[in-house]
Chain A
Amino acid sequence: MDAVTRKQLKIDACKARMGIIEGVANAKSGHPGGSLSCVDIITYLYFNHMNVNPADPKNEDRDRFVLSKGHAAPALYAVLALKGFFPREWIKTLRKSDSNLQGHPSMKYTPGVDMCTGSLGQGISAACGMALGAKLANKNFRVYTVLGDGEIEEGQVWEAAMYASAKGLDNLVAVVDNNNLQIDGTCAEVNSPYPIVEKFKAFNWNVIEIDAHSFDEIDAAFNQAKETKGKPTAIIAKSIKGKGVSYMENQVGWHGSAPNAEQAEQAMTELKAALSELEA
């Protein structure tokens, strides 16, 4: 990845982080921690990888994105707004009763959202169905899904994992956002999903391990996935929950609570400073 692209992605991801904070703070509820941990990957997909067009969000040849960890909706909304799928002002309406931005992603309300998700474990199955649809129709579109590391405790994820490799869905990429924290504590403490890499390997997936916040590693992984034939790719992305907001980083308490006005202001100050530095 060239320096200009890398820098622009960092700028876009920083702006998306500001969108996450703004949305969750205005809603006074939501899931900032897990949104901040996967937003670099979602930014990369929409700005550098997927074939999508905000002016034609239902194009049948587009690449699909399914946020299986639907509680990270603020990250998806922030990126979709930045990409131009809907007005930036919508972010402030997140979770309100007259909003097009539901607490968890809904294809019924929001342009650019490809699947209703939120109930953990279900998004990856829908993503498999989409990938199968591409195969049946001899289309070249690809399907991307992001799962939480806690989410993979759901049995349905492994039904889908078995299915995707059995059917040779090499047009499917599943990312595991491995921030190692879930509501009740660390993943290892609650009900360890580890070893994650070996599990996906045992399910006959192509497995790549990356740093979820390195655009070079993200780029290399998704490009390698595209070259991999005959089997789906799992990208196990080591991430930091709350990444980019100092007081949220690696704090399980920020899984599902919103910053108050003062905390939100501090977060925005930090992110603005980071943005200025990037744009300098």
Chain B
Amino acid sequence: MADVIKTATRDAYGKALVELGGINDKVVVLDADLAAATKTGMFKKAYPDKFIDSGIAESNMMGIAAGLATTGYTVFASTFAMFAAGRAFEQVRNSIGYPHLNVKIGATHAGISVGEDGASHQCCEDIALMRTIPGMTIINPADAVEARAAVLAAAEYEGPVYMRFGRLAVPQIFDEDYKFEWGKAVTLKEGKDVTICATGLLVNEAIEAEKLLAAEGIDAEIINVHTIKPLDAETICASAAKTGCVVTAEEHNIIGGLGGAVCEAICESGTAVPVVRLGVNDVYGKSGPAVELLHIYGLDAAGIVEKAKKAISLKK
């Protein structure tokens, strides 16, 4: 479809920050010398007095964000996911998470769709890391509309939030009047044979996979899990009980991300159904064009179809 609008969620992030700057004078944006890439540069241009570059020192930036938040500001701190969640993990844990400060981490360039920069920059561990921090909210929007809505909602929420954005332009799924409900998974299509829980750019792939499955007579339920923590276990487990099996799909290591979170929720719900995880299969990424890499690692509609069939075959 040539008329599909494609936008990277990082672009939506930058635009939403500019929007916030116009309505919330407590918003301050920090970056670590990546403003052009994270798109906080848009905010810098519009509100230069409220933008502070921390330089290439992400650990210090998280501490700055924490201290600034104690003085009453709503702080957005941005860098690549690898450095936000990886390098600065302990600063996020101890200086932001433990005091539960009002810092929003805008982590861009998550996952292997970073593309050509390769494994050193393709963070597939951030959700797992951030999930283990008590009180941390994790949002992984599926498209630009949802990304904008999540950023505006995060500014209204009091406490730390980790927001995961991508570099790659992805199709717009939602209408402009889409309502983002904090912490609530969105059932995009009801079905009876298999539940597909997807997050981030895999949501669009799940929508495509649903059509492929339908062509083979398989009726899939599609759930967009934009908030990975706290997880909407109620919606997911109810769906799992109905369809009898679950597939999770994410651009993240299969360990500790959405797949892990869904398995935990389902195991403890007493709904004994098979869960098959699609994700980066506990390997490092590599250089290459983003879309090509997504296919190589099976993070596409075909990959979801394969996992859905496996999940159905595991049903008792």
Interface residues of A (CB under 8 A from B): 60, 64, 66, 106-108, 114-116, 118-119, 121-134, 136-137, 155-156, 159-160, 162-163, 166-167
Contacts and interface: CB of A to CB of B under 8 A. Distances in A.
Nearest to A127: B67
7 contacts: A106-B99, A115-B67, A116-B99, A126-B67, A128-B63, A136-B28, A156-B63
Interface of B: 28, 49-50, 52, 54-55, 57, 59-60, 62-73, 90-91, 94-95, 98-100
A163 B54 CA distance: 7
Q: Does more than half of chain A's interface fall in helix, strand or loop, or is it mixed?
A: helix
Given A156-B63, A167-B52, A115 B70 contact: yes
Q: Which 8 A-B pairs have the closest CB atoms?
A: A129-B67, A125-B63, A133-B71, A159-B60, A126-B67, A159-B57, A129-B64, A129-B68
Contacts of B95: 115-116, 119, 122, 125-126
Contacts of B73: 133, 136
Contacts, number: 105
Nearest to B91: A122
Contact of B64 (A64, A114, A119, A163): A163
B62 A125 contact: yes
Contact of A132 (B64, B72, B98, B99): B64
Which of A129, A130, A167 has the most chain B CB within a 10 Å cutoff? A129
Nearest to B93: A119
Contacts of A155: 59
Contacts of A128: 60, 63-64, 67
A59 B14 CA distance: 33
Contacts of A133: 67-68, 70-73
Contact of B71 (A106, A134, A159, A166): A134
A125 B59 contact: yes
A122 B61 CA distance: 10
A52 to B, nearest CB: 15
A66 to B, nearest CB: 8
Nearest to B56: A159
Given A132-B52, A163-B64, A126 B70 contact: yes
Contacts of A118: 94
A125 B50 CA distance: 18
A87 to B, nearest CB: 23
A57 to B, nearest CB: 12
A64 B70 CA distance: 10
A176 B274 CA distance: 57
B101 to A, nearest CB: 9
A122 B63 contact: yes
Contacts of B100: 108
Nearest to A131: B67
Contact of B98 (A116, A137, A156, A167): A116
Nearest to A133: B71
Which of B50, B60, B73 is most buried by chain A, counting CB atoms within 10 A of its CB? B60
Nearest to A60: B72
Contacts of A160: 60, 63
Contacts of B60: 125, 128, 156, 159-160, 163
